[in-house]
Amino acid sequence: MAGRHIRRPANTVEWRCDADIDFEIGDLLFYDTSVEYVKPMADFTWDTSEEITRRNAIPYFVGVAAEKRTGREANDSTMIVESGCVFSMPMTSGTPVVGTLLGFEKASGDTLESQTLQIVTDPADAIGYCVKRYTAATTTVECVLFSPYDSEGGLMGRVKEVSFFADETVLAAAGNVVTDWTFKQNVSLIDARGILVVPPGTANAVLTFKNGATTLQSSSSDITLTLATAGAAGAVSSATLVGADSAKHLLAHDDTFDIVSDGGATGTGKAIVIVRYLITPGLET
């Protein structure tokens, strides 16, 4: 099934298209600056790997085709492209929930798919996110897709962050880096990054993340962030939070968020913990 606009007013923009290029309604389109026309994502130039190609393509993503072209039109023209609204899009089978990040899928060869999305975990790979919770695997996803050409920018421009400071009091003695933090709005956690200010002494400090009393997990294992003794000042470590089991990475406006240290570090270790998140629509249980 082709992608289609299903809810919320879209950002609609007219883009130039070449008479020789064909694409379908629902195709993901990019702007080819070398010819100044839009093209389907399958025509984007492959570069080394799926990740590199996907990230190369995102800055040129303009949205979803609202019109069809056969490639046999008599002359060049313009066409309407939509973004910023809720689409129903084909997706490689998975079980997304509200806030699950979505990016371009790879075709069987060294090309990107023009209509199919896939679940990704890094916002650098994403053009949008799911707006519906699915309880079983699906191959069609309701999602919002953003173009960097939108006046508000692409998805990365919508990523927010909050920082917490962890000193030796909590790194060397089990305790909370933050207790009962509330975001005051519905959010989807994306990831956490630890930046060492002073490395721990002779043992690592391990941080866990909680939604209320429940620890975030992935594949039934606690999600942790390790601040390592081997790291120099300024060293960065990270942990993915999006897509945690049981959708616990989704926090309503009054849900509490905790970061807990195991107290394993020794000495005067200090770190900054940065949590990235997206503001999301109403959460589904």
At a CB cut-off of 8 Å and minimum separation 6, what does 172 contact? 200, 201, 205, 263, 265, 266, 267, 269
The answer to whether 155 and 59 have CB atoms below 8 angstroms apart is: no
3-state secondary structure of 158: helix
Phi then psi for 224, rounded to 5 degrees? -130, 155
The answer to whether 55 and 125 have CB atoms below 8 angstroms apart is: yes
3-state secondary structure of 193: strand
Phi then psi for 41, rounded to 5 degrees? -60, -25
CATH class of domain segment(s) 159-279: mainly beta
3-state secondary structure of 163: strand
3-state secondary structure of 232: coil
- Distance of alpha carbon 211 from alpha carbon 166, whole angstroms: 19
- Distance of alpha carbon 38 from alpha carbon 232, whole angstroms: 46
- Distance of alpha carbon 112 from alpha carbon 54, whole angstroms: 8
Which amino acid is residue 115, in one-letter code? Answer: Q
Domain boundaries of the chain, sorted by first residue: 4-157, 159-279
Full-model pTM:
0.85
Mind listing the pLDDT tens digit of every residue in the chain (285 residues)?
Answer: 678 899 888 889 999 998 888 889 999 999 999 999 999 999 999 999 999 999 999 999 999 999 988 878 878 888 899 999 999 999 999 999 888 899 999 999 999 999 999 999 889 999 999 998 888 999 999 999 999 998 878 998 889 999 999 888 878 777 788 999 999 999 999 999 999 888 777 778 889 999 999 999 988 889 999 888 777 888 899 999 986 777 888 898 999 999 998 877 666 788 899 999 998 876 554
